[in-house]
């Protein structure tokens, strides 16, 4: 008698895990993809990011670039406010 609720719970967990896997790894919600390059403190780095919105894709790519170029919070903020030297929209323009 207890087998049915256990099977339902396992099935529900599989569906939830499948949805998480799809949206995370298959880019289900990632309509926009951008590559940006930023020159900061004498170095230039480029990164690509995906997101559901154009603003989020640009912010994520910028954060990824600045994480490698800046050290400390004040430099990180200055880097985030630096205009990209390259902005190439790969999808979702």
pLDDT digits (tens, 9 = 90+) for 59-91: 999 999 999 999 999 999 999 999 999 999 998
pTM of the model: 0.68
Phi (first) and psi of residue 45, to 5 degrees: -130, 150
What was the pLDDT predicted at 92?
Answer: 74
pLDDT digits (tens, 9 = 90+) for 15-66: 767 656 555 555 556 789 999 999 999 999 999 999 999 999 999 999 999 9
Strand residue runs (E) in 52-91: 86-91
Cα separation of 79 and 92, whole Å? Answer: 25
C-alpha separations of 6 from 15, 20, 89 in Å? 14, 21, 47
- Is 65 within 8 Å of 36 (Cβ atoms)? yes
């Amino acid at each position: 008698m207890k087998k049915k609720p256990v099977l339902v719970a396992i099935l529900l967990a599989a569906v939830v895990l499948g949805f998480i896997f799809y949206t995370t790894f298959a880019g289900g919600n990632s309509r926009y993809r951008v590559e940006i390059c930023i020159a900061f403190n004498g170095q230039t780095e480029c990164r690509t990011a995906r997101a559901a919105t154009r603003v989020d894709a640009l912010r994520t790519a910028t954060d990824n670039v600045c994480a490698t170029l800046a050290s400390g919070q004040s430099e990180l903020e200055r880097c985030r406010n630096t205009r990209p030297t390259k902005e190439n929209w790969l999808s979702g323009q």
